[in-house]
Structure 1
Amino acid sequence: MSDLPDVPSLLASAVTALGGSRRDGQVQMATAVAEAIDDGHHLAVQAGTGTGKSLAYLVPALRHAVDSGETVVVSTATIALQRQLTDRDLPRLRDAVTDPLGRAPAFAILKGRANYLCLNKIHSGAAEEPETELFDAFELSRMGRDITRLREWSSDTETGDRDDLSPGVDNRSWRQVSVSSRECIGAVACPYGEDCFAEAARRRAAEADVVVTNHAMLAIDAMSPATILPEHRVVVIDEAHELVDRITSVSTEEISGVGLTYVTRRAGKLISTETAETLAGVSEQLEALLDEARVGEWTRLPGGAAELLAGLRDRLWEARTEIEPSSGGAAAGDPDAAAARQMAVSALENLHDTAVRILGVFAEPDVTKRRDVVWVAEERLRGGDTRRALYIAPLSVAGLLRTSLFTDATVILTSATLTIGGNFNALARTWGLPPQENPDETAAGKTAAGKTAAGKTDGAKPVLADVAGGARTQWRGLDVGSPFDYPRSAILYVARRLAPPGRDGPAPATLDEMVELITAAGGRTLGLFSSMRAATQAAEALRERVSFPILCQGDDTTSTLIERFAADEGTCLFGTLSLWQGVDVPGPSLRLVLIDRIPFPRPDDPLLAARQRDIDAHGGNGFLAVSANHAALLLAQGAGRLLRADGDRGVVAVLDSRLATARYGGYLIAGLPPFWRTTDPAPVRAALRRLDTGAAPS
């Protein structure tokens, strides 16, 4: 029996010390997290805006770490939340719970090695590696200035963390001063091993009670045979709605002519002239093949591709074998030579393994049995040029998560948006967890009247179900609601009278509707669009028709635009994907969220199309499981931009009539907060005008 205060008492002490007040949903969530840690079952918690979910999982996490001596890992999807946790939440919470816990709990942040400066690379001169054939003169000049600044910064920074550099540099410049874990020669062999920023971060993490990391690191730790994160038994995954996409991204690889040329140059004098010339020839053949190929998914290899990829695989391994012997400079204690060889070997191995993986896909003739998806994509570069690459990504990451994450640790998954269609099953399947049998009986913490009712659970007891390999996975779903009174605070308006949106940008009637709503709101509008083209077209058209400033994503950095939007109550901000999830503007600057259309994924997205086809082939509803679920999550995230603090009021206007008329409309709406709903524009405009004039809402 622990002598430490129980979680509700510890949370109450922390809230009081921080000057806050009790929130029922926060208490319920913290208690459920503590129970999951004690019992060893997984927990999915939907906690609406205003719940204080960070505190609700950090308090039981810190208590468990101090009581057991075990590290708890907290994983996030975004840099913004990492900074919030390490710069604000954890320092304040540590001070608040030090007395009740008997000591000050320690915390640390840990990222992938490539996020830290590599001192060996900076001081060895390897940072000047780019070749003129790979970069234009403008990029080389900018990169040179960046590297000079990074060298100077390396003497001043205590962390070497890329996120601590302000202003930042682009990915190409950063790659010249960093290494991946595969490229690192190791602390023992490196002359800067004792001062290595990445190693220092790992040492701090090993001594911490709570380690904050990201979903990508979580994936790498799960897939790697080496131990990257400190030994742990409990993982908290915040922003869990993004887990699958982040894991998929880490598992995605590419092959391109430009990439192969870069790898060949990196190998440099470490391989024979004959091998280098052979690889250069294969690079030209690869570029010719991709230029002729159709952009999109490959369900079969085009003519000549199998032979080309097999030849590439063999030539890459020959080059890697030539570098393999650890003789020469490294044997003589030359760390520069060792670093160059390790980076070349890593790059060759990565491309070789990708070629093997792509060929392995087509070794299986039955498309329905393939576990990876291969496609060609085209990227538009500065100056109008294009670049094509061949990509491969997993069809599903459920198996990886089930066997490597949920088997080895107790996992707490949380977000403001985890239920789709009123329950947790849609996301549970993508995580590799078994679906609940009767999810509709305890759906999502809302009463029949639509009001928040913290205390409802998705299953009173954890679900016990057989999963692959004979393992058994217990999990519980819980929606603790939100302190906001949604029906009295906001309106969900669906413009039913508008025609369904087309492909040519906002229709004249849709623009007219935007003008009416923005005028009624007095500006104060966040416009969320399905594409950058639609956002730009709407901004250009409306600037001539309304008197309020309209900012558009791309006019400046996104963070600067959000700051300008928040600072001026009459300003509007239009944009696309990053604004759907990245805007937190409480107060009178935001009264209207405009959504131009249901955010279904692009029909030509090869990975999502393949996932949808795979579900159909196995007897499921691919549209509902992939496209509709993707739209439901993003729609909930977009609608969640409106109410960010007590006293916020406003309207979420969806200018896509399908949300009211299509059969799937109710499924999408079930994942939204219980706003007061209408399809009549008159009361919506009247409510916005009252808010604009400061009148009491009706």
Structure 2
Amino acid sequence: MSSSVESLLAAAVGGVGGTTRPGQVEMATAVARAIDTEEHLLVQAGTGTGKSLAYLVPAVEHAQRTGRPAVVATATLALQAQIVDRDMPRLADSLAGQVKRRPTYAIVKGRRNYVCKHKVEGGFPDEDEGMFDIGEVDAAAGRLGKEVVRVREWAAETESGDRDELVPGVSEKAWRQVSVSAQECLGSKCPMVAECFVERSREAAKDVDIIVTNHSFMAIDAFEGRPMLPEHDVLVIDEAHELVDRVTSTVTDELTPGGIRAAAKRARKYAESDDALDDLAGDLEAVLEQAPEGRLTAGIPDSLASILGRCRDVGRTLLTQMKPPKGENVDGPRQIALAAVDELHETAGRMLEEHELDVIWVSRDTRRGPVLRVAPMSVAMRMRERIFGCGATDEDESVRDRTVILTSATLELGGTFDAVAGTLGLRGPGSPEWTGLDVGSPFDYSQQGIAYVAEHLPAPGRDGLAPQTLDEIEALVRAAGGRTLGLFSSMRAAREASEAMRERLDEEFTVRCQGEETIGTLVRDFARDPKTILFGTLTLWQGVDVPGSACQLVLIDRIPFPRPDDPLSSARTQEIARRGGNGFMAVSATHAALRLAQGAGRLIRKGDDRGVVAFLDNRMIKARYAGFLQRSLPPFWPTTDRELVLGALRRLDQIAPEVQAVADPAKRGMTGQPVAGDPGPADGARTAVTQGEGWSTQDDDELRDGVDLGLPLAELAVSLARGESAVAARAKALGLAVPSRG
């Protein structure tokens, strides 16, 4: 088997003019062995290993040998596009004569990503947001109306119904006019189920070798009792360091006053008790406005419990009243109303149960106001059963017999897989068998990069960046000649550093900060100009791939521990401590190690990259947990010698080759090829930055259209997905008068 996989891998890599790498071969062989022995596998594969082909080749071989598909789940759209548009087509071409038949593949997405034919044909005539008929668009509707007309014309012609094939795209509000969520779908009762794009795509996926999806869709399939993926006995989870957060997000529920009001509005036509929901919304808003942000550590207070009880009971009553008359099918608008009320009923009931592993907390959303959320403290046991099949019943035979392959560049923290395995449910009594493997990296980190800890700086405090830290940033940036990516633990720190460097560096360098533009634009500007430095926070820690000389210095301002007031992190820490474990190491240090490994990994992206990762937090060498963090990083050459580092940066700047511009995704489709009819960056070009948010010409047009229609500030904010203060400020700048109420 291993020799067969090795030859297939060689053919796949050779098909694109490359040669296999030792780590790639080792990984492919291990994946094939895990599939054969039905033992789960965790593989750490560094950047540049070629891990996609290393798992796709044995997955294809298994699918063709057994007739059962393999599922590949990723965290990001970028990797999904890479697999579907680049890796699988090339692999299929290369292996066409090496296996039984040409390898096949499909991407499976959530229902919201597809056109609903029934909705387009008028199956939801009384939906609150309404539908625009072609030829009946009021001029005042402006861009939104034109978008709806265009998307409906496209819906009549498309063969896939997939939103990604609509180029150029449309706003979320326009897309909602032609799509439905899983809860809103009529399912088998839909009169157009035989023509449904979703059903057709999922039926087609049953006959392919590789099914590509995302973590969240895979989690819904596993946890919510709604099987949406074909039966499979091999599951590959790429970008596996993100899995726990994505699964947790999928099983998190929330209640908001706005959500209750929206449900009441939808239910009004079908029930008599909808006014009770309006009253509940006001009561919930009043209670949450008075509640402090954070976890409800003492349990749900009586005032809130009373409201939740009423919400659950009213929801149950409404669901009974909203059922259609006997012998009459549920139509589209009624199904949407039922889904909205059922969600309120279920969420309120879950919160009232106060399950010992659930965490309930209050947060503030700039757009939606106060939010009450509930999430599991840990998803480890649920993942153990529903993803890894440990303890699954006979009815879940397909899950029980499934092999799971998890891979990422950052799975081994502190020198072992134990920390990550624990969060996945793979440790402790009753855990399934698994193997951990680190296939290394093709990069020579100790020769290509320096890990510098600024030991002389004061420990980070709560009052912003210390003057000495700003001095250090300036010295490092000047020595590097720009070429700097600054990763900060908060937007406040990133903005503070940006403002200080703009004052200190005069016109010699260009300083860009996250929030001033779209991430894609910022990264492209950074990559094309060595004199540009880019500062930002979490998105940049994980989402930047800039090979070459544009990025020769990565600054990390402090160890990225979770916030002390983070509800889930604090609850997990306390629970582990209660059971006699080290909550800090299991939660905070593990979180920080993962982020540090991801952040430091921004430096070396190809074989001839050189540079420095500078840690401006001396706890990296002085704290008792420093060794754990250091063992989680790529094996750079370590030093605390400031002058040595400054000298190295100056030399690298002097001999740096020309920078490599990164591709402009705004001008390319999912295949990476230029798209006919694409308007280019015009609609997406930023016209202004207001309160840290960029505004495009399309945003400005939508704002003008909304004002013309008389929409109040609150509705404009929802439509534009921005805070009311930002919308008001931009409207003022454009000379628009926004009514405060509808």
Structure 1 residue 151: Cα displacement: 2.7
Pair 1:666-2:627 in alignment: yes
Identity of aligned residues (%): 54
Q: What corresponds to 2:184 in structure 1?
A: 183
Secondary structure at the residue paired with 1:473? coil
TM-score (norm 1): 0.87
Secondary structure at the residue paired with 1:390? strand
- For residues 520-559 of structure 1, give each alpha carbon's deviation from its aligned partner in whole angstroms, at most 9, with x where no partner exists: 1111111111111211121121112221112211121111
Task: Tell me: CA distance 1:568–1:167, structure 2 relative to 1, closer, same or farther (3 Å).
Answer: farther
Q: What corresponds to 1:320 in structure 2?
A: 319
Question: Does the aligned pair in 1 maintain the 2:126–2:333 contact within 8 Å?
Answer: no
Secondary structure at the residue paired with 2:345? helix
Task: Tell me: CA distance 1:666–1:167, structure 2 relative to 1, closer, same or farther (3 Å).
Answer: farther
Task: Tell me: CA distance 1:681–1:166, structure 2 relative to 1, closer, same or farther (3 Å).
Answer: farther
Question: Does the aligned pair in 1 maintain the 2:9–2:20 contact within 8 Å?
Answer: no
Task: Tell me: CA distance 1:294–1:174, structure 2 relative to 1, closer, same or farther (3 Å).
Answer: farther
Task: Name the CA distance, whole Å, in 2 between partners of 1:164 and 1:501.
Answer: 48
Question: Does the aligned pair in 1 maintain the 2:12–2:90 contact within 8 Å?
Answer: no
Structure 1 residue 292: Cα displacement: 1.3
Question: Does the aligned pair in 2 maintain the 1:33–1:57 contact within 8 Å?
Answer: yes
Question: Does the aligned pair in 1 maintain the 2:42–2:406 contact within 8 Å?
Answer: yes
Q: Which amino acid is 2:302 matched to?
A: G
Q: Which amino acid is 1:12 matched to?
A: A
Question: Does the aligned pair in 2 maintain the 1:592–1:642 contact within 8 Å?
Answer: yes
Task: Name the CA distance, whole Å, in 2 between partners of 1:521 and 1:380.
Answer: 38
Structure 1 residue 512: Cα displacement: 1.1
Q: What corresponds to 2:473 in structure 1?
A: 514
Where do residues 16-55 of structure 1 align in structure 2 (5 Å cutoff)? 16-55=14-53
Question: Does the aligned pair in 1 maintain the 2:263–2:341 contact within 8 Å?
Answer: yes
Question: Does the aligned pair in 2 maintain the 1:492–1:678 contact within 8 Å?
Answer: yes
Task: Name the CA distance, whole Å, in 2 between partners of 1:672 and 1:569.
Answer: 26
Task: Name the CA distance, whole Å, in 2 between partners of 1:164 and 1:430.
Answer: 37
Q: What corresponds to 1:271 in structure 2?
A: 271
Task: Tell me: CA distance 1:227–1:595, structure 2 relative to 1, closer, same or farther (3 Å).
Answer: same
- Taking only aligned residues, the RMSD between alpha carbons, in angstroms, comes to 2.1
Question: Does the aligned pair in 2 maintain the 1:5–1:101 contact within 8 Å?
Answer: no
Q: Which amino acid is 2:319 matched to?
A: R
Q: What corresponds to 1:642 in structure 2?
A: 603
Structure 1 residue 256: Cα displacement: 1.0
Task: Tell me: CA distance 1:511–1:162, structure 2 relative to 1, closer, same or farther (3 Å).
Answer: farther
Q: What corresponds to 1:371 in structure 2?
A: 357
Task: Name the CA distance, whole Å, in 2 between partners of 1:162 and 1:613.
Answer: 44
Task: Name the CA distance, whole Å, in 1 between partners of 2:126 and 2:324.
Answer: 24
- Provide structure 2 residue ranges, at least 5 long, that are not aligned to the other structure: 131-139, 390-398, 658-742
User: 449, 457, 466: which is aligned to 1:498?
Assistant: 457
Secondary structure at the residue paired with 2:474? helix
Structure 1 residue 603: Cα displacement: 1.1
Q: What corresponds to 2:128 in structure 1?
A: 129
Task: Tell me: CA distance 1:290–1:576, structure 2 relative to 1, closer, same or farther (3 Å).
Answer: same
Q: What corresponds to 1:461 in structure 2?
A: none
Pair 1:392-2:374 in alignment: yes
Pair 1:296-2:297 in alignment: no
Task: Tell me: CA distance 1:167–1:379, structure 2 relative to 1, closer, same or farther (3 Å).
Answer: farther
User: 361, 382, 388: which is aligned to 1:406?
Assistant: 388
Task: Name the CA distance, whole Å, in 1 between partners of 2:125 and 2:25.
Answer: 53
Q: Which amino acid is 1:481 matched to?
A: G
Question: Does the aligned pair in 1 maintain the 2:573–2:586 contact within 8 Å?
Answer: yes
Where do residues 70-469 of structure 1 align in structure 2 (5 Å cutoff)? 70-124=68-122, 129-130=128-129, 144=145, 146-166=147-167, 168=169, 171=172, 173-186=174-187, 188-272=188-272, 275-299=273-297, 300-325=299-324, 327=326, 330-331=328-329, 338-361=331-354, 370-381=356-367, 387-407=369-389, 408=399, 409-434=402-427, 466-467=429-430
Task: Name the CA distance, whole Å, in 1 between partners of 2:154 and 2:525.
Answer: 29
Secondary structure at the residue paired with 1:378? strand
- For residues 213-250 of structure 1, give each alpha carbon's deviation from its aligned partner in whole angstroms, at most 9, with x where no partner exists: 11111111111333210110010000000100000000
Task: Name the CA distance, whole Å, in 1 between partners of 2:591 and 2:142.
Answer: 41
Range that drifts further, 160-169 or 677-686: 160-169
Q: What corresponds to 1:456 in structure 2?
A: none
Structure 1 residue 14: Cα displacement: 1.4
- Provide structure 1 residue ranges, at least 5 long, that are not aligned to the other structure: 132-138, 332-336, 365-369, 436-465
Secondary structure at the residue paired with 2:19? coil
Task: Tell me: CA distance 1:168–1:421, structure 2 relative to 1, closer, same or farther (3 Å).
Answer: farther
TM-score (norm 2): 0.82
User: 491, 505, 518: which is aligned to 1:532?
Assistant: 491
Task: Name the CA distance, whole Å, in 2 between partners of 1:164 and 1:556.
Answer: 25
Task: Name the CA distance, whole Å, in 1 between partners of 2:168 and 2:561.
Answer: 35
Structure 1 residue 378: Cα displacement: 0.3
Task: Name the CA distance, whole Å, in 2 between partners of 1:5 and 1:678.
Answer: 43
Structure 1 residue 104: Cα displacement: 0.5
Secondary structure at the residue paired with 1:631? helix
Question: Does the aligned pair in 2 maintain the 1:5–1:100 contact within 8 Å?
Answer: no
Task: Name the CA distance, whole Å, in 2 between partners of 1:152 and 1:560.
Answer: 31
Pair 1:587-2:548 in alignment: yes
Q: Which amino acid is 1:313 matched to?
A: R
User: 572, 575, 588: which is aligned to 1:627?
Assistant: 588
Q: Which amino acid is 2:416 matched to?
A: N
Structure 1 residue 193: Cα displacement: 2.7
Task: Tell me: CA distance 1:220–1:670, structure 2 relative to 1, closer, same or farther (3 Å).
Answer: same
